[in-house]
Amino acid sequence: MTVIDPARLVEMANQIGDFFAPYPEQRRIEGVRNHLRNYWDPRMRSDLLAYVANGNEGELASHVLAATRLLQTEADERSAYAGPPRVEH
């Protein structure tokens, strides 16, 4: 059962992305990711991740999609890390 209509979730996520749009790319991505993680209800995040997993990523801004993928990776790892995205060397 979805908490909010998926189209509304996408709209809200893109609005967050609009706020971070002037920032450098990495900061845009981590800003959106942090906002979604810290301020969205876990059910909303879960619904957004499911929406993207079902191939509906085209409606999200590229940096919002990147942030969503970071959230998915972190959810898969069950990480509690809240800092900037880890860079693989």
29-73 residue pLDDT tens: 999 999 999 999 999 999 999 999 999 888 999 999 999 999 988
Please check whether residue 60 is in contact with residue 52, taking contact to mean a CB–CB distance below 8 angstroms.
Answer: yes
CA dihedral angle for residue 69, residue 57, residue 59, residue 11, rounded to 10 degrees: -50
- Residue 83 is predicted with a pLDDT of 63
Please list, in sequence order, all residues whose beta carbon lies within 8 angstroms of the beta carbon of residue 76, skipping any fewer than 6 positions away. Answer: none
What pTM value is reported for the model? 0.81
